[in-house]
Amino acid sequence: MSENDSAAEKSWLTLFNVVAGIIVIIGLIITVLRFTGGLATVTNLSDYNPWGIWIGFDLLVGVALAAGGYVTSAAVYIFGMKRYHSAVRPAILTGFLGYALVVLALHYDVGRPWRLPYPFIVQQGTTSVLFEVAACVALYLTVLFIEFSPAAMEWLGIRKARNIVVKLTLVLTIFGVVLSTLHQSSLGALFLIAPSKLHPLWYSPFLPVYFFVTSIIAGLSMVIFESTLSSRFFKNKMDEVHLKEKNDVTLGFGKAASFVLAGYFIIKVFGISAGNNWHYLGTGYGAWYLLELLGFVALPCFLYAIGVRDKNLSLIKWTSVLAVLGIIVNRFNVCLIAFNWHLPSSKRYLPHWLEIGISIFIVTLGIIAFRFIVTRMPILYNHPNYEDTH
């Protein structure tokens, strides 16, 4: 074996590749079990709990955390904040992969992948909120793919098609914002039909507003989080422009997140008041609600503000982690923890470890895809043959 062959072999035997490979193999095995043995083989779902973490995490959390695409595109192309331009492509890529994985995860829950497009071609249930969510997610995934395509075309050298897509950037951005506004809020509207099942502290007529506002928080925080990881693991792929602008992105998005969190805190308090649910705060669920409201809304709002004031980039980056965890906690509360709260503990849902395994498998696929694309395509740098047209 030559020295070059030995070096190539060593390059594949990295900790990341080994761990990711094991997770993928286990995930494929669980996938076979799920589609050959049914839901009962790999989940703890029941008539009382027809959905679990494949909806709570893979769908509700996944859609929220993929919101960085429309948030960043809107800031740059609609509101003219060109100093954040370097964050657009990473955010679009994260959004595209996020939505693609959401659709993949839905196949595990639905069980018959070939029937996923049925609402569009067989039975058009246009009066259903879920139909609107499905239509908007499908259309927005298409928009994200088109928005991402210039990077792939630059990599492949397809200049003419790339230039045509770039000219459509503003139209695609506006369309993407409209679609995101619709389906992010509609995910919250899905729970309006279950007032007797969702705890009063989380149930509110303002649920669509809550979900939309928190998607903005998630998008801003995920851009900061993703930028931090990219500068840590893919710094060698970043050009001078991206290295120079990454601190501006952190400060600017941290400031915006602080304002949005403040607004969200106010409307949440208003929601409690409108429903006259103050007395529930003295219960066990009330304590958990206060932890979510104070620990994952008020606290990151305050920390973001302090970080921006002091230009403390490290504090802002760690706060983005707290804010992302807050979004996960909120979605889990609405979909799982505070849902069916009146049932005895024996009938409450706890995820099967195989369900968790599938979720980890799907997240790992996203990380592998992100790593593959970033290390090959002009995501964190401007392609030298197209610098004048960015």
Q: Which residue's structure tokens are 């969702």? A: 198
Please tell me the distance from the alpha carbon of residue 250 to that of residue 245, in angstroms, as a whole number.
9
Total Cβ atoms within 10 A of residue 140: 26
| pLDDT tens figures, 266-277 | 999 999 999 899
Q: Identify the pLDDT of residue 387.
A: 62
Q: At 190, which amino acid appears?
A: L
Contact 368/22 with Cβ under 8 angstroms? no
Question: Cβ–Cβ contacts within 10 Å for residue 131, how many?
Answer: 16
Round to whole Å and give the CA distance between 367 and 48: 34
276 or 389, which is more confident: 276
Which residue has 């980890």 as its token pair? Answer: 360
> Over pLDDT 90: what percentage of the chain?
69
Residue in 96, 45, 97 with CA at minimum distance from that of residue 70? 96
Short-list 313, 324, 306, 315, CA closest to 247: 313
Q: Give the best-scoring range by mean pLDDT among 236-245, 255-264, 276-285.
A: 255-264
> Domains in the chain, start-ordered, CATH in brackets?
35-379 (1.20.1630.10)
In Å, what is the CA distance from 383 to each residue of 94, 151, 390?
Answer: 19, 9, 9
**What secondary structure letter does DSSP report for 195?**
T
What's phi and psi for 207, nearest 5 deg?
Answer: -55, -40
Contact, 169 vs 144, CB < 8 A?
no
pLDDT exceeding 70 applies to what percent of the chain?
95
Q: What angle do the packed helices 129-156 and 159-167 form, to 10 degrees?
A: 140
Kindly state the greatest CA–CA separation across the chain: 75
What are the DSSP calls for 314-347, one per residue? Answer: HHHHHHHHHHHHHHHHHHHIIIIISBTTTS-GGG
pLDDT > 50? residue 200: yes
Task: Note the pLDDT tens digit of each residue in 274-325.
Answer: 989 999 999 999 999 999 999 999 999 999 999 999 999 999 999 999 999 9
Residue 135 pLDDT grade (very low, low, confident, very high; cuts 50, 70, 90): confident
Task: Name the residue with tokens 């290390």.
Answer: 375
Stronger pLDDT, 73 or 14, i.e. the higher one: 73
* Per-residue pLDDT, 8: 44
Residue 388 DSSP one-character state: G
Main-chain dihedrals φ then ψ at residue 239, nearest 5 degrees: -90, 180
Q: Is the pTM of this model over 0.85?
A: yes
Contact 84, 252 (CB under 8 A): yes
Say if residue 130's pLDDT is above 90. Answer: no
pLDDT of residue 279: 92
Backbone angles phi, psi at 127, to 5 degrees: -90, -5
pLDDT, the chain, mean: 90
9 pLDDT tier (thresholds 50, 70, 90): very low
Nearest to 292 by CA among 327, 339, 317: 327
- Mean pLDDT over residues 30-53, rounded? 90
- The whole-number pLDDT of residue 133 equals 87
Of residues 311, 147, 319, 320, the one with CA closest to residue 223: 320
The residues pairing with 198 across neighbouring beta strands, listed in sequence order, are 339
Query: What mean pLDDT is predicted for residues 210-226?
Result: 96
Cβ–Cβ under 8 Å, residues 165 and 150: yes
Rounded to the nearest 5°, which phi and psi values hold at 79?
Answer: -95, 0
Neighbours of 315 (CB within 10 A): 16
Question: Which has more pLDDT, 257 or 231?
Answer: 257
User: Mean pLDDT throughout 223-234?
Assistant: 91
Residue 227: CB atoms within 10 A of its CB come to: 26
What gap in Å lies between CA 167 and CA 122, rounded to an integer? 35
Mean pLDDT throughout 129-151? 91
